């Protein structure tokens, strides 16, 4: 199969959909890989490294879109790329179609095949191509939260770890899923005093076990959230209710009563955030202050660390890309139910219930 990797065009997107090791794997299976010149630079991967791995470096993205049977990307195609979509071509990327009517319509018109990373789902309901970015965001949340507590950012002017004779900061993590457990891992490692809340006792038990008891687990309910948040120096929002907006668990009234100079890193901002005072921010201007509390609410946190995020993402996407390339699309979909669940549009038909519901379009079953 001919696989094309164009440079990402979305503002501040520095990740790339393949690493040199990924190229080696595809080429060694007999496939051709076309990569746009400079596609890896944001993640510090040089054209020469791709070339050494067996890729062909191409100057014109149009040529890649025209030649490739499968396009590997990180973000959804942008307006400037719509005219490049073509019949029967596989687009394998984060698509988020249910939130994007225009792209959905353009992909249906073009009769291309869209497989969304975010909709690939294993039999246990987990989302293996979202998990690596949650891992990055969870770990990063403590790093950026530590920065928010510095006085220059409007913070309380305390060090998360404390020092000899001076106690550490109190970190409160709401949500003990992938983001929460990874935030907990870093916060405990740095020496902070950490509490984690969830509605699911199994998740709390898991986090307590992996942290060998170096964390206080708390059942998530309104009274406990208020009690913990008012004592916190740093709060991490890490809740997810699949398919729904995040619940507003921290009210503006609670924010007003927090310690002056405390910080909230609301990782769940991409689902609306768990705090009434949350509004989305960007890497250019990541923080703002409400009621003397520093808020960090960047919707695309992994974009700050593309060298890590590119490798974390492609470690997970490559096996699916290889399966599609080796078996052909229909062979791969017939064999891999997780991949089939990730199929959003197929040659002019909507094949994903979330996309069909979002735009009241008919849902077509794939018969393989």
Ligand X SMILES: NC(=O)c1ccc[n+]([C@@H]2O[C@H](COP(=O)([O-])OP(=O)(O)OC[C@H]3O[C@@H](n4cnc5c(N)ncnc54)[C@H](O)[C@@H]3O)[C@@H](O)[C@H]2O)c1
Catalytic residues: 96, 270
- In angstroms, the CA 67 to CA 310 distance is 24
Which among 33-41, 133-141, 339-347, 355-363 is the span making contact with ligand X, rule CB under 6 A?
Answer: 133-141
Q: Is 235 in the site for ligand X (CB under 6 A)?
A: no
Nearer to ligand X by Cβ, of 38 and 247: the residue is: 247
When binding is defined by CB under 6 A, the residue of 21, 52, 241, 368 that contacts ligand X is: 241
Which among 111-119, 262-270, 343-351, 359-367 is the span making contact with ligand X, rule CB under 6 A?
Answer: 262-270
When binding is defined by CB under 6 A, the residue of 267, 339, 345, 350 that contacts ligand X is: 267
When binding is defined by CB under 6 A, the residue of 57, 159, 199, 358 that contacts ligand X is: 199
Half-sphere exposure of 116 (CA within 13 A, CB side): 26
Q: Which of 7, 6, 61, 2 is nearest to 33 (CA)?
A: 2
Nearer to ligand X by Cβ, of 203 and 295: the residue is: 203
Nearer to ligand X by Cβ, of 53 and 294: the residue is: 294
Nearest-approach distance from CB 41 to ligand X, in angstroms: 22
Q: Is 158 in the site for ligand X (CB under 6 A)?
A: no
Nearer to ligand X by Cβ, of 18 and 313: the residue is: 313
Nearer to ligand X by Cβ, of 157 and 201: the residue is: 201
Q: Is 26 in the site for ligand X (CB under 6 A)?
A: no
Residues 6 or more apart whose Cβ sits within 8 Å of residue 213: none
Q: Is 269 in the site for ligand X (CB under 6 A)?
A: yes
When binding is defined by CB under 6 A, the residue of 271, 277, 287, 317 that contacts ligand X is: 271
Instruction: Map the footprint of ligand X across residues 298-327, applying CB under 6 A.
Output: 299-302
Nearest-approach distance from CB 42 to ligand X, in angstroms: 17
Nearest-approach distance from CB 274 to ligand X, in angstroms: 8
Q: Is 197 in the site for ligand X (CB under 6 A)?
A: yes
Which among 31-39, 153-161, 162-170, 176-184 is the span making contact with ligand X, rule CB under 6 A?
Answer: 176-184
Nearest-approach distance from CB 29 to ligand X, in angstroms: 31
Which residues lie near ligand X (CB under 6 A)?
A: 133-134, 137, 174-180, 197-200, 203, 220, 238-241, 246-247, 249, 267-271, 299-302
């Amino acid at each position: 199969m001919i696989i094309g990797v164009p440079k990402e065009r979305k503002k501040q997107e520095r990740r790339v959909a393949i690493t040199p090791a990924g190229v080696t794997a595809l080429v060694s299976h007999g496939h051709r890989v076309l990569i746009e010149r400079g596609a890896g630079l944001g993640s510090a991967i040089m054209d020469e490294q791709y070339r050494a791995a067996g890729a062909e470096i191409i100057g014109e993205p149009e040529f890649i879109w025209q030649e490739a049977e499968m396009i590997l990307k990180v973000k959804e195609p942008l307006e400037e790329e719509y005219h490049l979509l073509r019949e029967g071509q596989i687009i394998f990327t984060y698509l988020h179609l249910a939130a994007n009517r225009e792209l959905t319509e353009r992909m249906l018109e073009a009769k291309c095949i869209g497989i969304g990373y975010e909709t690939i789902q294993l039999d246990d309901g987990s989302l293996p191509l979202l998990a690596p970015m949650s891992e990055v965001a969870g770990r990063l949340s403590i790093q950026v939260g530590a920065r928010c507590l510095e006085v220059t950012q409007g913070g309380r002017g305390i060090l998360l770890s404390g020092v000899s004779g001076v106690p550490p900061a109190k970190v409160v993590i709401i949500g003990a899923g992938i983001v929460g457990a990874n935030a907990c891992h870093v916060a405990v490692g740095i020496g902070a005093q950490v509490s984690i809340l969830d509605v699911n006792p199994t998740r709390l038990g898991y986090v307590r076990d992996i942290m060998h008891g170096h964390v206080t687990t708390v059942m998530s309910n309104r009274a406990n959230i208020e009690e913990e948040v008012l004592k916190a120096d740093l709060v991490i929002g890490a809740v997810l209710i699949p398919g729904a907006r995040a619940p507003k668990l921290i009210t503006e009234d609670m924010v007003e009563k927090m310690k002056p100079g405390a910080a909230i890193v609301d990782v769940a901002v991409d689902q609306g955030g768990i705090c009434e005072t949350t509004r989305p921010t960007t890497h250019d201007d990541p923080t703002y202050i409400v009621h003397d509390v520093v808020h960090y609410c960047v919707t695309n946190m992994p974009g700050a660390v593309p060298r890590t995020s590119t490798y974390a993402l492609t470690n997970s996407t490559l096996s699916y890309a290889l399966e599609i390339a080796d078996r052909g699309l229909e062979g791969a979909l017939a064999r891999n139910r997780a991949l089939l669940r990730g199929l959003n549009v197929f040659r002019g038909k909507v094949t994903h219930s979330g996309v069909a519901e979002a735009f009241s379009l008919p849902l077509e079953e794939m018969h393989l």
